[in-house]
């Protein structure tokens, strides 16, 4: 049978300041002080004070420490209602009461511990640091506890300052030793006044004493001795050591009790073991340290009965230590090699001050069926260090520190996929608390519930899903299927794709018509793009956004065979028999070229040759005529036709006029040819809409000649107008710059671009640069977004706008495993969130859910857009909207308020969910440093 039990002892957070020596009632001897308020409880609700018991130091006449040494204190505290706080400190009493000269002086620094809600029984361990006072005297170690209703109790013990420090080595409590065998005992003593005599005493199963007298006296003394155990000895054997210094002050070691057994009566050899551990260098709070223990008992031993570990979680910054342990028992005991695996999560973490650096000190142990225990503190070789058991039951290696695992705990929760795959985009359904992830590998959407933190049934969609965007009424989700030429529509209430609603994108072709004159007459030559031999462009959707009219704006992906990306608009009207798509061309440059016509937004061009006659030399003169075809939007069978009448450019103009008169939105430019590279995109092309859908920004990932940013103002149906690239010249001027993320605020008054080297902020209507912030560790990472209620930013097109520091902030992913929080008025970093991995894809932001701030008092501020419409409530960060007056930290309620939830794909192969708290936003604010 295998039985597992978890044990744990919590050591709580300390406060460094000592606010004066409070009065206490000593449990031993006379009352040194009185307890304020007595033990009467609060309002008569509870009159029972906590029970406090100091177990280390002992408090007897031989408890001593050299002056200036720290002292290790262990205390057990219980209460029937709940423990609120614990104080530990050391004082000395000087003077004479009757003469009025009595004073209390501090000898050891205070440790204050705030206990978590609901804890009624705990053991605390602390090292109290000595003050600079060098007086030799008797100190009083005091531990006081207060329960949640205000009742207080305390315990105190004496500690001689100016005596030797003595410890035993090579022996441990509970060790079985064999009668007639040998006992190896070590003694270590030290005192700056000099050790003059050391005495080792044994009593119980048999009595013995060994004495050493160093001459001259030494500051430190260490000795190992081997003692013969009488063959007739049996039962408990107590071992202790006493040392005296040059002032005849004595100090005693902790007492060790072992058991003498008859020869052949049992196994007396401890097992041997080793362990290995693994954990990410940067750990999220839910991450674990994985631990594997391997070892065995001696070949003639009784077998392994239990295996376990003890880990101390040490905070170097707070000077605090927590403790956890776990073990597994085997019945019957196991022989041969035994392996056991464990895992423990992060603990002793200050969630309001991430990143938090912690040291986990790890000890593993094995105990055989006869009670012999061995400990290991590393992973290089098998060891059998003696065990020591704490008063609370945990096992450590005697006089040895455990293996130190130094880790940084950061914010965020990375969502792992249930069946693997690669995620390229994420969208948050705030109404249903679901996170949707496009799994391009498995052709489906992963659905992660943000409340249960569990995956629901995946939703099958089209081939290689990439970009995601919600419909304008948020009841469905568009999915760009980059492995085809279509977009899926997912019904969010039903949790499935609407099979007959898939948006099928029609083919898009650009045309050039050349008017060529030769001896044989006039010819009209037609060239189509894309061309098989290049240049060519793709029509496979990549990222997608939805404008305020419900139209789709989507990019198309590049391919390894040389296809360039494009940006297109997809639209569909009720009653139509077919969806429509148009290629954005307005931003492209046209190459001047006489006798050429560039034509777009029609279906096809057909040519034929007509005979015009014979010239004076007998040459047959011909002319090519053209028929230009388009269709009524939404009705491909309702053909619009324009035919050239006459010859040359006037004939083409005539055909175009016929098309327009028939309802076509044909685009044509005379004396110009298409410049395909200028209107296509060479790398991943990001698309993002403003919160109200009024604007869509397009960011080109490629860096040749420079990454471009373009914007589109929402227009109904087929109307398109993508900004020309010349207007972007002052936004990204570094020839090596590219776009790695893009976002717009709620009403399209400000946008942010995440480049390789900096974050650029611009006004979408005119694409004017408003400011920039350099990115730490350039070249890596992606992603940028704005506060969802960022609105009414002041620009040339919105002079009535103003600065609102509570919402005018941006979130920019950096290559330093962080999300930097930028104030968009001063373009400086005011906060930072440290995460485990580097963000590699789009960064999304939503307001916190009500459950995120349940139980907290989080003041909010109402937010309006540029039209004066109320758009939501934001968690308030500043007093009266003044950037120079951030709300003061209180360490609890206000600083714990979740301001924002961020979502992004990362280098770790998943999606990270980040709760951004007020403490994170204002972490580096100039008024909080």
If we measure between CA atoms, which residue out of 377, 368, 183 comes closest to residue 271? 368
CA separation, residue 142 to residues 19, 57, 139, 161, 633 (Å): 15, 11, 10, 15, 86
Q: Which residues contact 70 (CB under 8 A, 6 or more apart)?
A: 108, 127, 128, 129, 130
Q: Which residues contact 847 (CB under 8 A, 6 or more apart)?
A: 430, 788, 789, 872, 874, 900, 901
Give the total residue count for the chain.
Answer: 929
Report the alpha-carbon distance of residue 432 to residue 451 in Å, rounded: 10
Give the pLDDT band of residue 889 (cuts 50, 70, 90).
confident
Region 630-652: mean pLDDT is: 88
DSSP-assigned beta bridge partners for residue 751: 744, 762
Give the pLDDT band of residue 777 (cuts 50, 70, 90).
confident
| pLDDT score of 73 more than 70 | yes
Strands of 135-269 (E only): list them. Answer: 137-147, 152-161, 165-169, 176-178, 182-204, 208-212, 218-228, 235-245, 250-252, 256-261
For residue 732, what pLDDT is reported? 61
| pLDDT score of 833 more than 60 | yes
For residue 41, what pLDDT is reported? 42
Decide which of 315 and 618 is more confident: 315
Region 36-65: mean pLDDT is: 69
For residue 726, what pLDDT is reported? 37
Region 237-264: mean pLDDT is: 84
For residue 621, what pLDDT is reported? 55
- Let me know: does 297 contact 335? Beta carbons within 8 Å: yes
For residue 45, what pLDDT is reported? 55
For residue 536, what pLDDT is reported? 79
Report the alpha-carbon distance of residue 794 to residue 10 in Å, rounded: 53
| pLDDT score of 208 more than 90 | yes
- Let me know: does 896 contact 918? Beta carbons within 8 Å: yes
Region 414-421: mean pLDDT is: 86
Strands of 205-271 (E only): list them. Answer: 208-212, 218-228, 235-245, 250-252, 256-261
Q: What DSSP assignment string belongs to 550-619? A: S-EEEEE---TTSPBB-EEEEE--TT-SS-EEEE--TTSPEEEEEEEEEEES-SEEEEEEEEEEE-TTSP
For residue 723, what pLDDT is reported? 66
- Let me know: does 555 contact 543? Beta carbons within 8 Å: yes
CA separation, residue 199 to residues 58, 166, 241, 256, 652 (Å): 19, 11, 6, 15, 116
| pLDDT score of 257 more than 80 | yes
Q: Mean pLDDT score of the chain, rounded to an integer?
A: 85
Q: Which of 21-25, 636-640, 755-759 has the lowest mean pLDDT?
A: 21-25
| Whole-number percent of the chain with pLDDT over 70 | 88
If we measure between CA atoms, which residue out of 740, 789, 763, 749 comes closest to residue 905? 740
Give the pLDDT band of residue 611 (cuts 50, 70, 90).
low
Q: Which of 156-170, 626-640, 832-846, 872-886 has the lowest mean pLDDT?
A: 156-170
Report the alpha-carbon distance of residue 221 to residue 198 in Å, rounded: 9
DSSP-assigned beta bridge partners for residue 326: 6, 309
Region 18-31: mean pLDDT is: 37
32 backbone φψ class: left, alpha, beta (φ>0; ψ -120 to 50): alpha
Question: Tokens 């009632």 sit at which residue?
Answer: 25
| pLDDT score of 243 more than 70 | yes
| pLDDT score of 27 more than 60 | no
Region 475-492: mean pLDDT is: 96
If we measure between CA atoms, which residue out of 202, 103, 82, 244 comes closest to residue 147? 82
For residue 808, what pLDDT is reported? 98
- Token readout for 137 is 């005297």
Decide which of 856 and 620 is more confident: 856
Q: Which of 310-314, 431-435, 574-578 has the lowest mean pLDDT?
A: 574-578
Q: What is the pLDDT of residues 334-388, one digit of tens each?
A: 877 788 999 999 999 988 888 999 999 999 999 998 899 999 998 778 999 999 9
| pLDDT score of 3 more than 60 | no
Strands of 64-181 (E only): list them. Answer: 64-65, 71-78, 83-94, 103-114, 121-128, 137-147, 152-161, 165-169, 176-178
Query: Angle CA(236)–CA(238)–CA(243) in degrees, nearest 5?
Result: 175
- Token readout for 352 is 């309001």
Give the pLDDT band of residue 829 (cuts 50, 70, 90).
very high
Give the pLDDT band of residue 315 (cuts 50, 70, 90).
very high
Q: What is the pLDDT of residues 180-200, one digit of tens each?
A: 766 778 899 988 889 999 999
DSSP-assigned beta bridge partners for residue 320: 315
Question: Tokens 């293996």 sit at which residue?
Answer: 403
Give the pLDDT band of residue 32 (cuts 50, 70, 90).
very low
For residue 642, what pLDDT is reported? 92
- Let me know: does 281 contact 409? Beta carbons within 8 Å: no
If we measure between CA atoms, which residue out of 238, 227, 235 comes closest to residue 260? 235
Q: What is the pLDDT of residues 316-326, one digit of tens each?
A: 988 889 999 99
- Let me know: does 476 contact 485? Beta carbons within 8 Å: no
| pLDDT score of 644 more than 80 | yes
Q: What is the CB neighbour count within 10 angstroms for residue 103? A: 9
Q: What is the pLDDT of residues 280-303, one digit of tens each?
A: 889 999 999 999 999 988 755 677
If we measure between CA atoms, which residue out of 441, 321, 276, 305 comes closest to residue 370? 305
SS3 of 278, please? strand
209-239 burial, b at 16+ Cβ within 10 Å, e below that, comes to: eeebebeebeeebebeeebebeeebbeebeb
Give the pLDDT band of residue 620 (cuts 50, 70, 90).
low
| pLDDT score of 575 more than 90 | no
- Let me know: does 77 contact 51? Beta carbons within 8 Å: yes
Cα dihedral across residues 15, 18, 23, 27: positive or negative:
positive
For residue 265, what pLDDT is reported? 55
For residue 38, what pLDDT is reported? 41
Decide which of 704 and 819 is more confident: 819
Q: What is the pLDDT of residues 500-553, one digit of tens each?
A: 899 999 888 999 998 887 766 677 888 898 887 777 788 899 999 999 999 999
Region 823-847: mean pLDDT is: 93
- Let me know: does 784 contact 826? Beta carbons within 8 Å: no
In the structure, how many helices (H) and strands (E) does the chain have?
Answer: 4, 67
- Token readout for 254 is 């902790």
Decide which of 915 and 60 is more confident: 915
| pLDDT score of 887 more than 90 | no
Region 125-143: mean pLDDT is: 89
Question: Tokens 């530990």 sit at which residue?
Answer: 88
| pLDDT score of 34 more than 60 | no
For residue 191, what pLDDT is reported? 87
Secondary structure (H, E, C), 735-800: CCCCCCCEEECCCCCCEEEECCCEEEEEECCCCEEEEEEECCCCCCCCCEEECCCCCCCCECCECC
Q: What is the CB neighbour count within 10 angstroms for residue 440? A: 18
């Amino acid at each position: 049978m295998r039985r597992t039990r978890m044990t744990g002892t919590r050591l709580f957070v300390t406060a460094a300041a000592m606010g004066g020596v409070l009065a206490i009632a000593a449990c031993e001897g006379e009352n040194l002080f009185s307890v304020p308020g007595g033990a009467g409880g609060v309002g008569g609700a509870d009159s029972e004070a906590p029970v406090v018991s100091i177990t280390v130091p002992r408090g007897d006449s031989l408890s001593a420490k050299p002056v200036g040494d720290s002292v290790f204190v262990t205390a057990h505290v219980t209460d029937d209602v709940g423990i609120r706080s614990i104080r530990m400190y050391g004082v000395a009493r000087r003077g004479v009461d009757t003469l009025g000269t009595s004073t209390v002086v501090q000898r050891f620094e205070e440790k204050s511990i705030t206990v978590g809600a609901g804890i009624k029984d705990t053991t605390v361990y602390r090292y109290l640091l000595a003050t600079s006072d060098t007086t030799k005297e008797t100190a009083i170690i005091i531990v006081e506890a207060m329960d949640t209703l205000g009742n207080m109790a305390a315990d105190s013990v004496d500690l001689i300052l100016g005596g030797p420090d003595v410890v035993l080595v090579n022996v441990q409590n509970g060790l079985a030793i064999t009668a007639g065998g040998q006992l190896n005992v070590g003694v270590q003593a030290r005192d700056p006044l000099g050790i003059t005599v050391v005495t080792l005493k044994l009593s119980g199963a048999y009595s013995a004493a060994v004495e050493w007298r160093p001459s001259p006296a030494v500051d430190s003394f260490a000795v190992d001795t081997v003692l013969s155990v009488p063959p007739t000895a049996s039962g408990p054997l107590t071992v202790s050591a006493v040392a005296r210094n040059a002032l005849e002050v004595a100090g005693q070691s902790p007492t060790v009790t072992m058991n003498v057994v008859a020869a052949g009566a049992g196994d007396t050899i401890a097992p041997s073991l080793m362990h290995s551990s693994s954990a990410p260098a940067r750990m999220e709070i839910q991450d674990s340290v994985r631990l594997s223990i391997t070892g065995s008992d001696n070949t003639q031993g009784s077998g392994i009965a239990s295996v376990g570990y003890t880990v101390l979680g040490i905070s170097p910054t707070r000077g605090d230590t927590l403790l956890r342990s776990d073990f597994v028992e085997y019945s019957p005991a196991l022989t041969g090699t035994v392996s056991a695996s464990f895992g423990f999560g992060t603990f002793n973490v200050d969630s309001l001050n991430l990143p938090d650096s912690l040291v986990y000190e790890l000890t593993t142990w094995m105990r055989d069926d006869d009670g012999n225990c061995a400990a290991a503190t590393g992973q290089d070789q098998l060891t059998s260090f003696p065990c020591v058991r704490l008063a609370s039951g945990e096992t450590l290696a005697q006089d040895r520190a455990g293996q130190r695992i130094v880790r940084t705990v950061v914010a965020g929760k990375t969502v792992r996929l249930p069946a693997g795959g690669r995620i390229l985009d994420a969208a948050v359904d705030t109404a249903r608390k679901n996170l949707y992830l496009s799994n391009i590998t498995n052709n489906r959407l992963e659905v992660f519930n943000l409340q249960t933190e569990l995956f629901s049934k995946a939703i099958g969609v089209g081939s290689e899903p990439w970009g995601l965007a919600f419909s304008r009424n948020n009841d469905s989700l568009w999915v760009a299927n980059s492995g085809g030429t279509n977009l899926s529509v997912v019904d969010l209430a039903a949790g499935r794709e609407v099979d007959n609603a898939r948006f099928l994108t029609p083919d898009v072709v650009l045309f050039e018509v050349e008017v060529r004159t030769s001896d044989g007459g006039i010819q009209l030559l037609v060239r189509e793009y894309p061309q098989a031999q290049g240049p060519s462009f793709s029509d496979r959707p990549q990222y997608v956004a939805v404008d305020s009219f419900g139209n789709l704006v989507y990019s198309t992906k590049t391919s390894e065979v040389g296809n360039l990306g494009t940006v297109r608009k997809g639209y569909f009207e009720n009653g139509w028999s077919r969806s429509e798509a148009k290629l954005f061309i307005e931003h492209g440059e046209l190459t001047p070229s006489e006798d050429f016509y560039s034509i777009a937004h029609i279906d096809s061009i057909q040519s034929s040759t007509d005979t015009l006659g014979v010239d004076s030399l007998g040459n047959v003169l011909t002319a090519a005529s053209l028929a230009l075809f388009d269709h009524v939007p939404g009705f491909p069978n309702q053909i619009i036709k324009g035919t050239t009448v006459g010859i040359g450019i006037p004939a083409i103009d005539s055909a175009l006029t016929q098309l327009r008169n028939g309802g076509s939105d044909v685009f044509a430019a005379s004396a110009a040819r298409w410049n395909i590279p200028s209107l296509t995109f060479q790398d991943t092309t990001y698309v993002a809409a403003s919160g109200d859908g009024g604007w869509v920004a397009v960011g080109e990932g490629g860096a040749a000649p420079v990454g471009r940013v373009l914007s589109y103002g929402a227009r109904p149906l087929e109307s398109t107008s993508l900004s020309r690239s010349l207007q972007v010249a002052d936004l990204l001027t570094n020839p090596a710059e590219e776009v790695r993320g893009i976002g717009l605020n709620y009403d399209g008054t400000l946008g942010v671009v995440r480049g390789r080297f900096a974050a650029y902020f611009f006004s979408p209507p005119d694409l004017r640069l408003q400011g920039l912030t350099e990115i730490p560790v350039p070249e890596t990472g992606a992603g940028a977004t704005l506060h969802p209620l960022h609105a009414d930013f002041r620009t040339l097109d919105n002079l009535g706008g103003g600065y609102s520091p509570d919402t005018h902030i941006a979130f920019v992913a950096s290559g330093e495993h962080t999300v930097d929080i930028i104030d968009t008025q001063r373009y400086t970093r005011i906060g930072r969130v440290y995460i485990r991995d580097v963000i590699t894809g789009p960064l999304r932001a939503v307001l916190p859910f009500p459950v995120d701030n349940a139980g907290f008092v989080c003041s909010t501020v109402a937010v309006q857009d540029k039209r004066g419409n109320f758009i939501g409530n934001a968690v308030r960060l500043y007093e009266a909207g003044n950037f120079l007056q951030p709300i003061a930290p209180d360490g609890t309620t206000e600083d714990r308020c979740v301001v924002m939830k961020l979502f992004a794909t990362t280098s770790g192969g998943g999606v990270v969910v980040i709760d951004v708290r007020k403490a994170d936003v204002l972490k580096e604010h100039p008024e909080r440093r």
